[in-house]
Structure 1
Amino acid sequence: MRVEVDLDRCEGNAVCVNLVPELFELDDDDYSVVKLDPVPPELEERAARAIEECPRAALRRG
């Protein structure tokens, strides 16, 4: 599984960072960045939850 961030939609709300800090972080401009590609199997369920809960729908499966 891969996760992509749509930087045009991301507002840096950090919901994804709070849900899966092992996978997401905010860059210097406060945009979400995926730290691991592909997503390790043990994080896939939590990554899917982050995609669903992103308030700006800025995350998607790649």
Structure 2
Amino acid sequence: MNFLKIKTCWSNAEFIIIKICMATIYIFVGSYFHDFFQNYHWALIEIFAFTVIWFVYQWIKKMKSQKL
């Protein structure tokens, strides 16, 4: 299980993506309990999906570059 032991160095700018990703899913889940975000469900899902794909891509790219 060496996958979980791999260390990478991330800059603060690269953490913005995962923060946006987590924030949008928190707001999306919270929107089921509050009517304020009810009109923004699809926008939040799109932002979440985009940031997840972007974050995973950067993570894989960074892991591959460290193996070289």
Structure 1 length-normalised TM = 0.33
Structure 2 length-normalised TM = 0.32
Q: Which has the higher contact order (CA 8 A, sep 6+)?
A: 1
More strand by proportion, 1 or 2? 1
